[in-house]
Amino acid sequence: MMRARFGSTARGLATLGVAGLAVYRLALRSRQLRWGATDDEVAAALPGDDLLGGADLTATRAITVDRRPDDVWPWIAQLGQGRGGLYSYDFLENLVGCDMHSADRVVAEWQDVAVGGKLRLHPEVALDVVVVDPGQALVVRGGVPMGDTPPPYDFTWAFVVRERPDGTTRLLVRERYLYTRWWSGLLVEPVEIVSFVMSQKMLRGIRQRAEQG
């Protein structure tokens, strides 16, 4: 009797899990992949898009900052571990040893971002800076290795600053993944949910700092 009940409960939980995944993919997934972005922004070509032709997964997120681009860009330029941080949930990042400390001020020494440099996510993990258009765009590329195994995807992360006619700024962040293994999506899809949580906090963090500054 107890075994039968256990089996019934397990089947019920499995069904619930499958249903939850289906709801996420049909309703929530598309929303989190374009949080804050307009239809035009999602469809627009952004710096760095040409680096990964035929990306398997793209996320475009955006926020309006009540300041001009010159007040927003310095926070973008100093992104990275050992610099200005990522303006997100530092305590969560530090649980995995990132040693991340988000700055609350613009630091002149951290404004020297250039192609060929690094944007660190962790003391031992960094993405390559591949595009810099000062005041307008920063694009980094790479991935997080799995121990000694290279990441099963290629990845670009673009930060784009656009001025609006009313003097405010649209800040767009785009992630693009190109899978290099058949199972890449099984890793990237769950990670992308975490990325959404961290990214929306980062966008809010940059907005708060730029507007207060």
pLDDT at 203: 98
The answer to whether residues 10 and 94 belong to one domain is no
The answer on 27 and 55 residing in a single domain is: no
- Kindly state whether residues 87 and 16 are assigned to the same domain: no
pLDDT, average across residues 70-96: 97
Do residue 5 and residue 107 come from a single domain? Answer: no
Same domain for 77 and 7, yes or no, is no
Confidence of residue 91 (pLDDT cuts 50, 70, 90): very high
Q: Are residues 126 and 79 in the same domain?
A: yes
Q: How far apart are CA 26 and CA 195, in angstroms?
A: 19
Q: What is the distance between the terminal CA atoms of the chain, rounded to a whole angstrom?
A: 66
- Phi and psi based region of residue 35 (left: phi greater than 0; alpha: psi -120 to 50; beta: remaining): beta
Does the pLDDT at position 25 exceed 90? Answer: no
Residue 141's domain is classified under what CATH number?
Answer: 3.30.530.20
- Say yes or no to pLDDT of 39 above 60: yes
What pLDDT is recorded for position 2? 42
Same domain, 125 and 21: no
pLDDT at 27: 54
Q: Residue 147: pLDDT band by 50, 70, 90 thresholds?
A: confident
The yes-or-no verdict on residue 133 having pLDDT over 50 is: yes
Say which residue the tokens 């949080």 belong to: 35
Amino acid at 124: E
Residue 60 lies in domain: 37-212
Helix, strand, coil in percent for the chain, rounding step 5: 40, 25, 35
Residue 73: is its pLDDT beyond 90?
yes
pLDDT of res. 160: 98
> pLDDT grade, residue 146 (50/70/90)?
confident
* Structural domains of the chain, count: 2
Residue 11 has pLDDT above 90, yes or no: no
The closest of 130, 176, 129 to 154, measured between CA atoms, is: 176
Local confidence band at 213 (pLDDT 50, 70, 90 cut-offs): confident
Do 206 and 180 lie in one domain? The reply is yes
> What pLDDT score does 132 carry?
98
Based on the fold, state whether residues 24 and 74 are members of the same structural domain: no
Calpha distance 163→167 (Å, rounded): 6
* Residue 119 one-letter amino acid: L
* Same-domain pairing of 51 and 16: no
Please state the rounded mean pLDDT for residues 42-68: 97
pLDDT tens digits along 117-128: 999 999 999 999
pLDDT band at 7 (very low <50, low <70, confident <90, very high): very low
φ/ψ of residue 102, rounded to 5: -70, 130
Separation between Cα atoms, residue 206 and residue 74, nearest integer Å:
10
Mark whether 176 and 91 lie in a shared domain.
yes
- Structure token pair of residue 5: 């009940």
The Cβ of residue 167 has, within 10 Å, a number of other Cβ atoms equal to 10
User: Between these two residues, 177 and 25, which has the higher pLDDT value?
Assistant: 177
Q: Are residues 23 and 118 in the same domain?
A: no
| pLDDT averaged over every residue in the chain | 89
